[in-house]
Homo-oligomer: A and B are copies of this chain.
Amino acid sequence: MEFHARPIFPKGFSCASRNCGLKPAARDLSVFVSSVPAAAAAVFTRNRFPGAPVIVGRELIANGRLSAIVVNSKVSNVGTGETGILNARRMGIAASAELGVRADEVLMSSTGVIGKQLPIELIENGLRGIAADLTDDPMIGAEGIMTTDTRPKALSTTIGDVTITWVGKGAGMIEPNMATMLAYIFTDARFDAPTLDRMLRYAVEDSFNMLSIDSDTSTSDTCVIMANGLGGEIGEEAFAQALRAGCIRMAEMMARDGEGATKLLRARVDGARTRADARRAAKAIINSPLVKTMAFGADPNVGRVLMAVGKCVDVEQDPAKIAIWINDVPVFADLCRTAFDEAALRKLLAGDPVDIRVDLGIGEESATAFGCDLTHGYIDENAAYYSS
């Protein structure tokens, strides 16, 4: 599937972003809007301590209809009690008034530090007049939702008459705090909300749900799709595959731009007895601090991959049947490390991405997980004072 060289919006979608005073100068407030109400679906964090926007968002998305999304960065509105819920609603109401859409058709997100009340007046002031700034460039909206992401993230593709656009942010913060994954997907295809919901869950399963920067699950993770129908009909299967491919690409972009990351780390597990086993083992590999530092150091330390698979005590496996490749070089089989060329492999490992493949050799199921290396940058970003 081809992505556009420069991301565009589907018919009827636009966005704007501004600095409203949460950050010193950078854009910290974005709106995304459809010219007509769109069918919508969303998935949210499974963290048992969800932020106020997630609590309100779950309620809103039940209608299966959205016209706009409003997002601020810098403060996450999590751990803020009843006041937080009220502030989330105020944020949606302010955006609806400015954009001329129904208040129950505006989804809100907040990303940033936890446990501080949202400076809601700054946001309400910031939204005033923002409709005049609406543009057809998704990168403008992507900028306003960044925390410590080093670059805004958007991509788009056209299939038949319809376009799909992804806008996301990954793991990074203005001030050290927890990474939040936000992904907004816009399309002018025509689908009802239940179909969107089904396709979104299918796409998220192999993309964002297989992404891990540091194994910590944000209280704000949100992935939303809006379909306004202005581009007309397209086959569900073709659309679902394109949606999945774009979500995987966006997950890779987020992984590569993870906190302190210098490269994308991918782990593919084949030959598993069950899909759940394949997923669990692939996740264990990309989450292993020792595998992650190996990727950073470009060190072909095969034992760490063995360890990461072996520590999954719930994954059916037989050491004698396991084979391992790093960037397509066979490094382990028949219970022994193979005699690979260390210098050559070290060169491959110094590149981006680092691809680890494990064949469990006992079944037909596969899964791929997306992560990044663990570097000094991660320590630096997360050890500084959050309140500074």
B residues less than 8 Å from A374 (CB atoms): 379
Does residue A49 face the partner (Cβ distance < 8 Å to B)?
yes
- Cβ-defined contact, B47 with A307, below 8 A: yes
Interface of A, secondary structure class, is loop
- Cβ-defined contact, A289 with B48, below 8 A: no
CA separation between A304 and B47, bound complex, in Å?
12
B residues less than 8 Å from A322 (CB atoms): 49
How many residues from A make CB contacts under 8 Å with B?
Answer: 68
Given contacts A299-B176, A376-B379, contact A48 B217 (CB under 8 A): no
Does residue A363 face the partner (Cβ distance < 8 Å to B)?
no
- Cβ-defined contact, A383 with B303, below 8 A: no
Distance to closest chain B CB from A299 (angstroms): 5
Partner of A303, one of B78, B217, B299, B335: B78
Partner of A375, one of B76, B301, B313, B379: B379
- Cβ-defined contact, A382 with B294, below 8 A: yes
Given contacts A114-B307, A115-B332, A290-B216, contact A313 B387 (CB under 8 A): no
B residues less than 8 Å from A81 (CB atoms): 334-336
Does residue A106 face the partner (Cβ distance < 8 Å to B)?
no
Partner of A178, one of B47, B303, B309, B346: B303
B residues less than 8 Å from A48 (CB atoms): 309-313, 315, 317, 319
Does residue A214 face the partner (Cβ distance < 8 Å to B)?
yes
Partner of A310, one of B49, B288, B315: B49
- Cβ-defined contact, B386 with A289, below 8 A: no
Residue positions of A touching B, CB distance < 8 A: 46-50, 76, 78-82, 113-116, 176-178, 214-219, 287-290, 293-294, 296-297, 299-304, 306-313, 315, 317, 319, 322, 332, 334-337, 342, 346, 374-376, 378-379, 382-387
